[in-house]
Structure 1
Amino acid sequence: MSDKPLHPPASAIEGEIGILARRRIEAGVIAPIYQEIRARLGEEVARSIIDSAISKAAVEAGQTFAAKTPGGTSLRTFQELQQLWTQDDALIISVGKATDEEFHYTVHRCRYAEMYREMGLGEIGHLLSCNRDYMFPKGYDENIELERTQTLMEGASCCDFKYRYGKKQEGQQ
C-alpha cells in the first residue's frame, strides 16, 4: 500500500499558502486602510468600501477557480473546494447533506472569526470573510446559492450553511 494520501493536501491543490494564513496577511494590510478610511470618512463609508472591495475580490476568486475546474463547475466541484477553507483546522464542520443539488454543513469552530477578534477586527470580520461565502459562488457558478441564518463571527453558537444548485433560467438573477 502506498504512503501517499488519497487526496493531496489543499495547499498542493491551490499551490499556495492556506486560506487562513492568507486571510491573516490580508487582514494585516486591510486593517490600517480601514482605520484610515473610518477616521476620514466615517464608520458607515469605511464598512461600505471594505464590503464592496472584498465582495468584488470574492467574485473574481470564484471566476479564477471556475476557470481552473476541468470539465466545468457544479455543486460537486464546489464541495471539493471545501478542503481549502478547512485546511489547517481553520473550520471544524459536520456535513449534513452533500448531493448534486444540496450541500449543507454546520461550522462548530471558526478560526477565521477567532483570528479577526484577536487582531481587533471582530467588528468587520463578517465583511472580511463571511460575505465571501455568498460572493465566491457568484463567480464560481451562478447556479449555486447560499442560505445561512447565523454565524459564529456574529456571535451565534454555529454557522449553518445550505448551498443549493439550480439551473438559472434566461433573464433570472
Structure 2
Amino acid sequence: MKPEEGSAPVTMLAQRCFEAAMLAEVYAVLVERCGKETALGVIEETVERAALEAGKRFAAKAPDGPSLTHFAAVTDMWRAGGALTIENVRREPDRLSFDVTRCRYAERYREMGLPEELVTRISCLRDGAFVAGYCDKLRLTRPGTIASGADRCPFTFIWEKR
C-alpha cells in the first residue's frame, strides 16, 4: 500500500495488521467451506507467495545487487514504529544475527483476536520466504519465535559463497 501524496507513510506494522484482518476473514470463510487444514494451507501459501515477491522487490533495490550488507537494512524496516525490539546484533562478513526480544506483530495480532494458529503463520512464516525471494545465497535459521512461545526470536542469516 502506497501512501497518498503528502500523507505519512504507513508503517510495516500497520500494513501487516490490515493484511492480517483480511486474511483472518478469508480464513474464517475457508474453514467453513473447506475445513481447518485446507484453510491453513491456503493461508500459508498466500503468505509465502507474498513474502517471496516482497523479497524479490527488496533485492531489486540493491544498488550493486543482493548482498548481506544490503539485506541487513531490512531490520530498520522491520522495527519501524517500534514493531520489533532487536538486541545483540552481530555482523560478520558472511553472517548477520540478532535476537528479537519483543514482537509487536504477534502482540497486535493477538489484540485483534486472530485465531492463535494464524499468529505465527501470518507473521513468522514470512521470514523464510522473504529470504528465499531475496537471494538463493542467503539462508535463515531461527529455532524459535516469540509468537510460538519462545522468549525471543534468534535470527541468523548466513551468506553462502558459491
C-alpha distance in 1 between matches for 2:10 and 2:134: 20
List gaps (5 residues or longer) in structure 2: 1-7
C-alpha distance in 2 between matches for 1:76 and 1:92: 20
1:123 corresponds in structure 2 to 117
1:145 corresponds in structure 2 to 139
Across the aligned residues of Structure 1 and Structure 2, the Cα RMSD in angstroms comes to 1.3
C-alpha distance in 2 between matches for 1:70 and 1:96: 24
2:3 corresponds in structure 1 to none
Q: Which residue of the other structure, out of 104, 111, 131, is the alignment partner of 1:111?
A: 104
1:34 corresponds in structure 2 to 27
C-alpha distance in 1 between matches for 2:138 and 2:9: 25
2:5 corresponds in structure 1 to none
Q: Deviations over 1:90-131 (max 9, x none)?
A: 001113411231111111100000011111223211111101
* SS in structure 2 of the partner of residue 149 of structure 1: coil
2:50 corresponds in structure 1 to 57
* SS in structure 1 of the partner of residue 10 of structure 2: coil
C-alpha distance in 2 between matches for 1:37 and 1:125: 17
How many residue pairs match? The answer is 154
List gaps (5 residues or longer) in structure 1: 1-14, 169-173
Q: Which amino acid aligns with 2:85?
A: I
| Runs of 4+ displaced beyond 6 Å | none
When the two structures are superposed, what TM-score results if normalisation uses the length of structure 1?
0.85
2:4 corresponds in structure 1 to none
1:11 corresponds in structure 2 to none
CA contact (8 A) 1:76 1:99 kept: no
Larger deviation, residues 108-117 vs 16-25: 16-25
Q: How much has 1:16 moved relative to structure 2?
A: 4.1
1:1-80 equivalences in 2 (<5 Å): 16-80=9-73
* SS in structure 2 of the partner of residue 29 of structure 1: helix
CA contact (8 A) 1:61 1:139 kept: yes
